[in-house]
Chain A
Amino acid sequence: MAQYSIDSILAHAIVIIPAFNEEKSIGRIVACLRENFPGLDVLVVNDGSTDQTAEVAASAGAKVLSLVNNMGYGIALQTGYKYAFARDKYRFCVQMDGDGQHNPADIPKLLAPLADDRADLVIGSRFVSGKNGYTIPFARRVGIFFFRTLVQLFTHNKIKDITSGLQAYNRKVLARYTSDEMPYYYPDADVLIVLIKGGIRVAEVSSPMNGNIHGKSMHNGVWPQVYYVTTMVLSIIVILLRGMGKKNAR
């Protein structure tokens, strides 16, 4: 694979931001991205928001895809992947959350290993430097530890932050993400297992997260957390039974 400079990589990259009712934060994030990286395209996937998310994002300078219904985080993300994959211009993708927790200034740091062809997928990790702008709740830390152990067990890969929503990747990964075979519920540990088993090289760079400015997470509450853990474990079992990583590697 050819090697790229950061400037050239920014001109061939797109930032995908799935957003559901994020009118309060999305404008600031898009404006910040457009101001700091004028050559970088920003795509907001409006996941059936009932507020002004789409309008705010578009007026801040983002391309907007609007889903007619609220389909969930994973499906919104995959829509963005499909849009980017259909356009040869985009050799690299960055995904980040629309709640303002990720720092746009870290984008070049994420893209650097892709530019040097040292990795296919780069994760912005909260745990590489150990510094964070907010405290991760205990239950979530236990969950992250559990799934990190599973990923390590099945891939022999020591990834510290397997649930980070800040990631960058090349078209090789994008092709896998757009496949209907890929788990799309919450693309976390299950997807990482498929990718690593399929020969995708994963790297981590430090990217401390800010607190959510609205204090709301999609995993808030006992039931969503139990549902998430159950679904993720089931998804991992199904992946292992299907031998999906090996199949994708072919």
Chain B
Amino acid sequence: MPDKLIVVLGIFFIISFVFVLRMIVKHQLREVYAVAWVFVTLSIPATIVLFPLFSKVSAYLGISSPFNLAVFVGFVISFGLLLHFSALNSGMQRNLKNCIQKIAVLEAEIRELSAKQSKNDP
């Protein structure tokens, strides 16, 4: 990997890692979601360290350049991230639905009880 690229990737890693940590500390990002982003940021130094392995794997798979393999790996990671957050979103939507339904039913029950009480009041 060219030295200039290593420097750029290193700077990008430090900035993104600090940014993610800062968001967790400031409660802007919950730990459960942060894990995926920490993993993504850590994949940057992993790519730098494992780049010689990338060359071997891309040669083995018949991919002309290890950078193309890196793009493919990026695609796989993006796919995983999208799936992970869609699954979390689905769970939250189900919880939100149940919560909103419960509020509506409880509100109606409160109205019914108030109406009953005001009828009973002398």
Give A residues with C-beta under 8 Å from B.
45, 63-69, 71, 75, 78-79, 82-83, 86, 180, 184
Contacts and interface: CB of A to CB of B under 8 A. Distances in A.
Interface string B85-109: 0000000001001101101110110
Contacts, number: 37
A28 B121 CA distance: 33
Which 10 pairs between the two chains have the least Cβ-Cβ distance?
A65-B104, A79-B101, A65-B108, A67-B104, A83-B105, A67-B100, A79-B104, A75-B97, A68-B100, A66-B104
A71 B97 contact: yes
30 contacts: A45-B104, A63-B108, A65-B104, A65-B105, A65-B107, A65-B108, A66-B104, A66-B107, A67-B100, A67-B101, A67-B103, A68-B100, A68-B103, A68-B104, A69-B100, A71-B97, A75-B97, A75-B101, A78-B101, A79-B101, A79-B104, A79-B105, A82-B101, A82-B105, A83-B105, A83-B108, A86-B105, A180-B94, A180-B98, A184-B97
A57 B103 CA distance: 19
Nearest to A46: B104
B101 to A, nearest CB: 4
Decide if the interface of chain B is mainly helix, strand, loop or mixed: helix
Contacts of A45: 104
A interface: dominant SS? mixed
Q: How large is the interface on B (under 10, 10 to 19, 20 to 34, 35 or more residues)?
A: 10 to 19
Interface in B63-122: 94, 97-98, 100-101, 103-105, 107-108, 112
Contacts of B104: 45, 65-68, 79, 83
Contacts of A75: 97, 100-101
A68 B105 CA distance: 11
Contacts of B103: 67-68
B94 A71 contact: no
Central interface residue in B98, B100, B103, B107, by most chain A CB within 10 Å? B100
A64 B100 contact: no
A184 B105 CA distance: 18
Nearest to A83: B105
B100 A71 contact: yes
